[in-house]
Amino acid sequence: MMNTDRTSLNSVKATADRPKRNPRPAWMRNKAWVPDQHGAWGMLLIPLIVGVYLSGLSPAHPLLLLTALLGFLAFHAVSLWWKTRLKPRFRTPSLTYLGLFTLSALALVFWQPQILWWFVATPLGLLAIWRAYQRDERSLLARVSIILVASLLTPIAYDLGTGFARPAVSDPVSWWPSGALHQPSGWPWVWYCTLLLALYFIGTVPFVKTMIRQRRSNTWLLGSLTYHALVAAVVAVLASQQLVSWLAAGMWVLLLARAAGFPLWMRRTGKPVKPAIIGATETVTSLLVLFSVLA
């Protein structure tokens, strides 16, 4: 009986000492296949949704969505590959996503050749990849460059949806005629929405830093509050002139309160906010920003 108990105890101990198996497939445990930057999905999809909403759905929009998704996956994988100085485990996902993105982009260009005009944004993407190669992909410069690329999906989707019926580049007055913002339509309104979305996503960079990596930095907190306060003030002035809606102004007041409330609450209580809560908050905030832009 005693020997049986000892055997059972040894069996239990051996089971406890055995390393736990990760139930996920090996490819899913490779960060290059599955990005862990959850906020990036909203940054990618929301500008595209706004552009499609403003122009109306086009048969080419699904291909644009596919190209944008593959572009993001390729950017993430290649950045990780270069950051690790071409580590072999990241080579396959990098080349796979890069190949699929190239095929999708070529199909889009072959179908809608005028979209080539928007490839002027390519240097911004290359800048972000170069910063990743320098192992500085979390810098403000790298983050802002990729945010600007993602924000341009609004005018790209709009241009595609309207059949590229844009004014001539040599005629800037046609892009922004007098009193343009009094009419929420056309290219002036597209650029206004693009700017508003870009400003929001740029603001998430210092905000998230004050919540996680720089939560003890007074400099980052002051910079985040200053940025949100300045944008809120400008949008409020535009709303007072009836150039934009008061809903947009109210949204920026809410963003300013968020930028101040969460970090100051953490400092007062000494308790960090869980990343899952930050992610959920940003998801809700992104949806509110989307509503304020489209309303």
Are residues 188 and 129 both part of a single domain? no
94 part of a folded domain = yes
Are residues 195 and 282 both part of a single domain? yes
| Poorest-pLDDT segment among 32-41, 51-60, 116-125, 239-248 | 32-41
291 part of a folded domain = yes
Are residues 43 and 156 both part of a single domain? yes
Are residues 188 and 150 both part of a single domain? no
Which residues have C-beta within 8 Å of that of residue 190, sequence separation ≥ 6?
51, 54, 154, 155, 158
155 part of a folded domain = yes
**Cβ(79)–Cβ(149) below 8 Å:** no
In this predicted structure, what is the pLDDT of residue 2? Answer: 47
226 DSSP 8-state letter: H
Compute the half-sphere exposure of residue 290: CA atoms within 13 Å on the CB side of its CA. 19
Domain end among 164, 198, 219: 164
Chain segment 92-149, per-residue pLDDT in tens: 999 999 999 999 999 999 999 999 999 888 888 888 888 877 888 788 888 999 999 9
What is the phi-psi region of residue 163: left when phi exceeds 0, alpha when psi lies from -120 to 50, beta otherwise? left
Closest CA to 111 of 163, 53, 68: 163
Are residues 81 and 141 both part of a single domain? yes
7 part of a folded domain = no
128 part of a folded domain = yes
Are residues 266 and 209 both part of a single domain? yes
Q: How confident is the model at residue 59 (pLDDT cuts 50, 70, 90)?
A: very high
Domain end among 164, 196, 216: 164
Are residues 156 and 44 both part of a single domain? yes
Q: Which domain holds residue 267?
A: 183-295
Are residues 188 and 283 both part of a single domain? yes
19 part of a folded domain = no
Domain count, the chain: 2
Are residues 130 and 200 both part of a single domain? no
Are residues 146 and 72 both part of a single domain? yes
Residue range 267-291: mean pLDDT, rounded? 85
Are residues 230 and 135 both part of a single domain? no
Are residues 138 and 187 both part of a single domain? no
pLDDT higher than threshold 70 for residue 284? yes
